[in-house]
Amino acid sequence: MAGPRLHARPLIVLSVLAAGLIVFGFVGSGRAADMVEVFVHNFPDTQEVKGVVDVANLTPPTMAVRLEDRVIPPIDIKQPTDFQDLGLLQVGGYSRVALGIAGEIKGFAEKGEVGIILIPELDIANEAWRQKGRAIFPLSLTATHDAARAPYLFSSIEMRNLAFGSYRAYAYNTTGRTVEVDVIAYLSR
């Protein structure tokens, strides 16, 4: 004896309607502005691309950035909140920097140094620096001067790892004279 017979056609229609509601319910829940058209290409052989490929806004593999002709009056190294603001270094897209300082002392000085400290552009780092002179995640470099080098001073070139997209540069000067410097940052990926 056969049980009650279910009609297949109404079940199929109900299943299709339910699936449609589920799919369009998820798709329809996003705003049109949030939707992005995406094309996916499957290249079976590794890196086999033919034709013209255009990549916009590609970061160059290396780039030189300079903070030029910055005038730094004498500033005590023990007063970091008085350090001279040299400007912002934009380093986004790079992981390493070769830093150097070169400058000229305006007048005679026996000895001293000019130092730079790079503070990442983070709210907490800026607040700690401005309020307490505390450097969070700093990069630093010093250019020393003695009478034999007069009137110039310079540092060695030193490599540093970059962890943030931009750094604000500050400087101090213990020569007792005004100094004009260039900060050179050679960026690489």
Ordered domains of the chain (ranges, CATH): 62-188 (2.60.120.380)
| pTM strictly above 0.75 | no
pLDDT tens, position by position, 20-34:
555 455 444 445 556
pLDDT tens, position by position, 108-122:
888 889 999 999 999
Which segments in the chain show pLDDT lower than 70?
A: 1-36, 38-49
Q: How far apart are the first and last CA of the chain?
A: 78
Task: Please report the DSSP string for 12-69 in residue order.
Answer: HHHHHHHHHHHHHHHHHTS-GGG---------SSTT---S----TTPPPSEEEEEEEE
Instruction: Name the β-bridge partners of 115.
Output: 142, 172
- Cβ 97 vs Cβ 91: under 8 Å: yes
Q: What is residue 119's predicted lDDT score, i.e. its pLDDT?
A: 95
- Cβ 160 vs Cβ 100: under 8 Å: no
How many other β-carbons are positioned within 10 Å of the β-carbon of residue 154?
Answer: 17
Task: Please report the DSSP string for 68-125 in residue order.
Answer: EEEEE--B-TT-GGGPEEEEEEE-TT-SEEEEEEEEEESS--SEEEEEEEEEES-HHH
Q: What is residue 111's predicted lDDT score, i.e. its pLDDT?
A: 86
Q: What is residue 49's predicted lDDT score, i.e. its pLDDT?
A: 67
